Structure 1
Amino acid sequence: MHKTFISYHHANEQDLKDDIVKKGVTGGEFLDKSVEDGDIEIDLSEDTIMKKIKKDFLEDASVVIVLIGEETANRPYVNSEIQTALWGDNRCGLIGVVRDEVYDKIYETTVCKHSECNCGIYLNSPTNTFEDKIPYLINKNHFILGDGESTAPHFNNSEAYCSIYKYTTFFNNMEMYIDEAFNKKDKNFPVIKRNSADTATI
């Protein structure tokens, strides 16, 4: 297994993080540390902040799990940790893990009626809430081709650089999904590595 860093909103997703660490993974390790208020000076340049996060928190990580709840997308430390995970030559595998009740808000079940496919399979289609709840770099790297837009009618989670899973789905098979993210990081490339100008960073 792999050394895995958990990025999360401490006030809202501590319960999910604690359950993941308590369960553990065979042959792997969760790096039990994360950026908190006061750890990094806020007036530093973006590159300096990423260097500090990489050195002090993510240096040993090969996979980053981002726990996503109601307010995660707007948390500056979380957004900076995600950006750092994708930064440089030694990038991390990335997984978005969404709290169950939030997952049920961001996806709805539809049927494929795409003109190039029309296969009729059931799909998880993003709702209008998806953009508000999913951190920018998780969202933009949940595609398989193109510059932030998939050219395929639909795709499997395993094909995207960053997979997005419901918390209970992930929790029930953590080792498989962590291993999947690790294996993809050197085969695929992130679509976007930097937060947008209007996305909060430290």
Structure 2
Amino acid sequence: MSSLPLSDNILSVAFEHAPCAIVVTRHRQVEACNQAFCKLFGYPENELVGQLMLKMYPSYEDYELIGKLRYQELLKEHHCIDERFMRCKNGEMFWCKTQGKTLTPAAPFDLAIWTFTRINIRPDQEGNLSIREREISGYIANGYTCKEIAKRLDISHRTVEAHRAKIMKKLGCRNTAELVSKIIQVQA
């Protein structure tokens, strides 16, 4: 097994081949991203560099809301961690943990670095849930209320409540905290 020679380029090699999805943004626009980031979102690098991160958000509304929240957090703490839905090139929505750090504390979005980790519904429990129940589970894990989920899915909030009750019964949960902990886990 050959080893890479130490050189000025070693940081570039480490960034490109890091096992976690990393993106560097300027004003919320992709400046650079690594192979793991491209794989996670299903885009080749040339379709990401120079594009707004909006491309990977479920909606413009989410992009704006999360941007406002993270900007304030980065301004105060210079780093942030959250969980949210993101969207792949093929349109698939997935739940992920995001960590960010600004490199320009006075203007947090001028230059920032972010990592993304996909979070999945546990496979052993996923099989017990219908497609609609899995979809609703994702929203529950994201902290949405039944009324908010109903609005997003354009269905009755009572229908969402019925699905939530079935999910809780199938997973053997007594409260929301227990439900969320059974729905999600960080993918290894």
The two structures have a TM-score, normalised by structure 2, of: 0.26
- Structure number with higher relative contact order (C-alpha < 8 Å, ≥ 6 residues apart): 1
Name the structure with the higher helix share.
2
Name the structure with the higher strand share.
2
Larger radius of gyration: 2
The two structures have a TM-score, normalised by structure 1, of: 0.25
